[in-house]
């Protein structure tokens, strides 16, 4: 499979997005559009497996699909399919634009995972994130949603401009935009400045501290279902992208590893401590996303093959668990009190959420445990003892706010005026797939880490 054939998965998502936009012409309307989108996403995941490791896209080495790119593309496609499957069962009103936006964002994220050139990376980054602005402010007349979307948009655009400014320095120093030709080893202070400016935008997109302040307000203003997508799918591609960029510019820049380590520690501390006082699940998961960005940066900091592979593995483990929790929040309500007596009302869903929360904390035998284990081992091998200690302590702290959700489900009373939700086979299957992923993939953690492979 060569040339344009390597982009068949992305082309499928593009066709699915266009089909969703005109789903009012299909039998079944918007629901049929969501079904077609989910089928396209599953087919894209299958086609990704047919692309040979190391295959180049149709434009030379602008796009190279190595092991980590394949792993990330499959995960992005499957998570998008799960989200669309849930939309089939629970989507309200006109959802065709939301389905199309999700498919466009997934396509951008898949391209970003294979980008090996600065302009290609920037364009795919914006394709992955611009639809997220609209998803967050998707509801007409919702002032809080529009406010959150506007905050996300303004900060994200500012971060993109800073990153583009940093890229201009990288080009000026190296004379090329290809990662393989970037050489900052003799650039001195200018090289460090260019690298830091280039990373600022990516840190903001990943909601890493201290560029995370948009996340709680943006998530709180959005629907939980939109947060389920925005907080997971783009983050997988962002993790792969930052590893590739650092691998290209970090050699010869000793201060850069320190910068990433400081951002990692700050994200873990501010994310976990900020989540402790939240009573809205969306804000809680926003701070949780900041903390988990800190964890994955532990693997990125060491700049080793083991650390890079562990970081990609971990962000996928986080994505499945986080999406499952937010989809339940979309059904039950965003406030912690909305989850009262869920174990009595929906015992299967409640125990499924417990499995997801255990994975987010890092309790065996879930995939989240093995993700953190691989990260910490890679960091210890590189001598990052302090960073690992912070990560371990903060993982214990995270149990405090994750288990508050469990307490509400099992020990609190049902909310007043509760209206039972209708049964939906499609939505139940989507939640079941998230739960099965964190349990079954945990058992298969070793082969999965091997499947990530090494960065070419």
H, E, C per residue of 346-406: CHHHHHHHHHHHHHHHCCCCCHHHHHHHHHHHHHHHCCCHHHHHHHHHHHHHHHHHHHHHH
Please state whether the peptide bond connecting residue 224 to the residue before it is cis, i.e. omega within 30 degrees of 0: no
Please indicate whether residue 65 or residue 283 has the higher confidence score (pLDDT): 283
The answer on pLDDT for 240 being more than 80 is yes
CA distances from 381 to 197, 304, 374, 388 (A): 29, 10, 11, 11
Closest residue by Cα to residue 153 from 232, 217, 101, 196: 217
* pLDDT band per the 50, 70, 90 thresholds, residue 456: low
Asked whether the predicted pLDDT for residue 248 surpasses 80, the reply is yes
Answer whether residue 152 shows pLDDT above 60: yes
d(CA 278, CA 405): 11
Mean pLDDT of 211-235: 87
pLDDT beyond 90 at 102: yes
Give mean pLDDT, residues 188-194. Answer: 86
Burial class (CB in 10 A: 0-12, 13-18, 19+), 273: middle
184 and 249 in contact (C-beta within 8 Å)?
yes
Q: Which residue has the higher pLDDT, 136 or 170?
A: 170
Positive or negative, the CA dihedral 59, 63, 319, 139 is negative
Residue 2 has pLDDT above 70, yes or no: no
Q: pLDDT band at residue 51, thresholds of 50, 70 and 90?
A: confident
The answer, yes or no, to whether residue 30 has pLDDT greater than 70, is yes
Q: What is the pLDDT of residue 90?
A: 79
The answer to whether the CB of 207 falls within 8 A of the CB of 275 is: no
pLDDT for residue 350: 93
Residue 1: pLDDT above 60? Answer: no
Tell me which of 451 and 300 has the higher pLDDT.
Answer: 300
* Percent of the chain whose pLDDT exceeds 90: 44
Residue 93 — very low, low, confident or very high, per pLDDT cuts 50/70/90? low
**In this predicted model, which residue has the larger pLDDT, 5 or 376?**
376
Q: Are 299 and 276 in contact (CB under 8 A)?
A: no
pLDDT confidence tier of residue 103, bands split at 50, 70 and 90: very high
More confidently predicted of 186 and 324: 324
Residue range 336-350: mean pLDDT, rounded: 90
pLDDT above 70 (res 138): yes
> Tokens 């873990």 label which residue?
268
Q: Which of 245, 234, 141 is nearest to 200 (CA)?
A: 245
pLDDT in tens, 415-433: 877 777 778 888 899 999 9
Region 51-65 average pLDDT: 77
Q: What is the pLDDT of residue 122?
A: 92
CA separation for the pair 147, 137 (Å, rounded): 8
What DSSP character marks residue 65?
Answer: E
Residue 18 has pLDDT above 70, yes or no: yes
**Averaged confidence pLDDT in the chain:** 87
Among 186, 109, 122, 209, CA closest to 157: 122
* Residue predicted with more confidence, 455 or 323: 323
- Model pTM score: 0.94
């Amino acid at each position: 499979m060569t040339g344009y054939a390597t982009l068949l998965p992305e082309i499928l998502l593009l066709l699915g997005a266009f089909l969703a936009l005109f789903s009012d012409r299909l039998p079944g309307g918007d629901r049929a559009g969501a079904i077609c989108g989910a089928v396209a996403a599953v087919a894209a995941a299958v086609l990704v497996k047919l692309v040979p490791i190391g295959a180049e896209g149709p434009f030379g080495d602008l796009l190279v699909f190595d092991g980590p790119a394949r792993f990330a593309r499959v995960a992005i496609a499957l998570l998008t399919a799960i989200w669309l499957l849930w939309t089939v069962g629970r989507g309200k009103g006109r959802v065709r634009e939301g389905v199309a936006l999700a498919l466009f964002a997934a396509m951008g994220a898949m391209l970003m995972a294979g980008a090996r050139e600065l302009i290609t990376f920037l364009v795919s980054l914006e394709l992955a994130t611009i639809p997220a602005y609209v998803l967050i402010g998707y509801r007409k007349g919702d002032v809080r949603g529009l406010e959150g979307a506007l905050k996300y948009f303004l900060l994200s655009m500012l971060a993109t401009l800073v990153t583009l400014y940093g890229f201009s320095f990288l080009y000026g120093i190296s004379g090329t935009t290809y990662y393989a030709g970037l050489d900052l080893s003799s650039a001195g202070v200018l090289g460090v400045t260019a690298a830091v400016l280039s990373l600022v935008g990516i840190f903001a997109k990943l909601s890493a501290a201290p560029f995370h302040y948009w996340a709680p307000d943006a998530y709180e203003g959005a629907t939980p279902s939109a947060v389920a997508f925005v907080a997971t799918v783009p983050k997988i591609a962002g993790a792969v992208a930052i590893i590739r960029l650092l691998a290209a510019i970090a050699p010869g820049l000793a201060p850069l590893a320190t910068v990433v380590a400081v951002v990692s520690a700050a994200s873990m501390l501010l994310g976990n401590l900020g989540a402790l006082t939240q009573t809205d699940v969306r804000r809680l998961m926003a701070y949780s996303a900041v903390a988990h960005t800190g964890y994955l940066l532990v693997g990125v900091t060491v700049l080793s093959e083991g650390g890079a592979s562990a970081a990609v593995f971990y962000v996928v483990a986080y994505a499945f668990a986080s999406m499952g929790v937010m989809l339940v929040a979309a059904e039950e309500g965003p406030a912690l009190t909305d989850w009262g007596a869920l174990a009595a009302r929906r015992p299967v869903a409640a125990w499924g959420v417990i499995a997801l929360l255990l994975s987010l904390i890092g309790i065996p035998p879930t995939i989240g445990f093995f993700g953190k284990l691989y990260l910490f081992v890679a960091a210890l091998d590189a001598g990052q003892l302090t960073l690992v200690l912070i990560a371990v302590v903060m993982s214990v702290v995270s149990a405090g706010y994750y288990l508050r959700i469990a307490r509400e489900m099992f020990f609190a009373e049902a909310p007043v005026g509760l209206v039972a939700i209708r049964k939906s086979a499609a939505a139940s299957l989507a939640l079941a797939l998230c739960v099965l992923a964190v349990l079954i993939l945990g058992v298969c953690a070793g082969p999965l880490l091997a499947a990530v492979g090494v960065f070419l």
